[in-house]
Amino acid sequence: MSPLQRASGWIFAGPALVVLSVFFFLPVLAAFALSLTDFDIYALADISNLRFVGLDNYAELIGRPIFWKALGNTVYFVGAGVPLSIAVSLFAALLLHSRASFLKPLFRTALFAPVVTTVVAVAVIWRYLLHTRYGILNAALESVGLPAVDWLGDPNVSMPAIILFAVWKNFGYNMIIILAGLQAIPDDLYEAARIDGANRVQQFIHVTLPSLAPILFLVGVITTAGYFQLFAEPYVMTEGGPVQSTLSILYFMYEEGFKWWSLGSASAVAFLLFVIMLGVTAVQYAVMRRRGGLA
């Protein structure tokens, strides 16, 4: 081996590792350090105004109702949005996988299309579709005799409206992954179940679901992580309102950091989000392992 050959691994991997270290790993560590300071607009102007405050930012956040409101809203969005999204993805994947379906590639493309669209742009579309007076959705409700809903103006339905939008936008992604999982289930399993006299619902419960379990778990973990990062949807559709009913953790971090320039406190928010996500992922893995579905 020539010296160049021995060094080639580092030469090829080096640029990416340097970039990741400088622009990702270093900032992540710095975020924790920053969260222990009172970095604010005065420190932004003159760094000598910066003071180390220990865990004060965290203590202060825990004492602020708006932090709990943002956390609660985010947990609501994740808790209702993730199962609903995956249920719709599973339903769509089962339809596409069915022998009875025609034009599969066409339907697959149509159902996937919302995934590649720009979230800000389609959120603007939905804001009009959900409009109380001029929106198509209320026109449809009223045409069948149902009352109009103030989708984005009523704090009780604003989050469900955003969940509805998120499901529409995202279900195609997991649909593709679940569809691949369905295609990988061997026919013999269904054959054996049929011979045992299982009807279609029983086949679904005893063959399809257990075979899909690892994949459903995987898309669950990925979708949960993604949904915790809710930001653009409320920013565009509701500006976090009404009465902070759609203020998410990231939205709170954004306002704390880039509206009020409390960068120390905002870093603490970011770190708490990270810790919460880590905890939720750990619980998901533990539950899955206990059920024995994970090799």
Q: Which of residues 213-252 bind another protein (CB under 8 A)?
A: 218-219, 222, 225, 228-229, 231-232, 235-236, 239, 250
Give the integer Cα–Cα distance in Å for 81 and 172.
14
Of positions 5, 46, 48, 144, contacts another protein by CB under 8 A: 5
Q: What is the DSSP string of 49-101?
A: G--B-TTHHHHHHHT-HHHHHHHHHHHHHHHHHHHHHHHHHHHHHHHHHSTT-
Site for another protein in 138-167 (CB under 8 A): 139, 143
Q: Which of 231, 266, 273 is nearest to 60 (CA)?
A: 266
The nearer residue to another protein, 245 or 255, going by C-beta atoms, is: 255
How near is the Cβ of 130 to another protein at its closest, in Å?
10
The nearer residue to another protein, 68 or 91, going by C-beta atoms, is: 91
How near is the Cβ of 283 to another protein at its closest, in Å?
13
Site for another protein in 49-88 (CB under 8 A): none
Query: Is 281 one of the binding residues for another protein (CB under 8 A)?
Result: yes
* Candidate ranges 72-80, 153-161, 240-248, 254-262; the one touching another protein (CB under 8 A): 254-262
The answer to whether 222 and 85 have CB atoms below 8 angstroms apart is: no
Of positions 116, 145, 147, 290, contacts another protein by CB under 8 A: 116
Query: Is 16 one of the binding residues for another protein (CB under 8 A)?
Result: yes
- Residue 123's identity, in one-letter code, is A
The answer to whether 170 and 222 have CB atoms below 8 angstroms apart is: no
Of positions 78, 86, 149, 176, contacts another protein by CB under 8 A: 176
Query: Is 260 one of the binding residues for another protein (CB under 8 A)?
Result: no
The nearer residue to another protein, 50 or 157, going by C-beta atoms, is: 50
Give the integer Cα–Cα distance in Å for 74 and 67.
11
What is the H or E stretch that residue 254 is in? helix 249-254
Of positions 42, 52, 68, 258, contacts another protein by CB under 8 A: 258
Q: Which of 120, 91, 80, 118 is nearest to 224 (CA)?
A: 80
* Candidate ranges 18-26, 56-64, 144-152, 155-163; the one touching another protein (CB under 8 A): 18-26
How near is the Cβ of 194 to another protein at its closest, in Å?
6
Residue 150: partners with Cβ closer than 8 Å, 6 or more residues away? 132, 157
Burial-class residue 233 by CB neighbours within 10 Å (0-12, 13-18, 19+).
buried
Residue 134: partners with Cβ closer than 8 Å, 6 or more residues away? 128
How near is the Cβ of 291 to another protein at its closest, in Å?
17
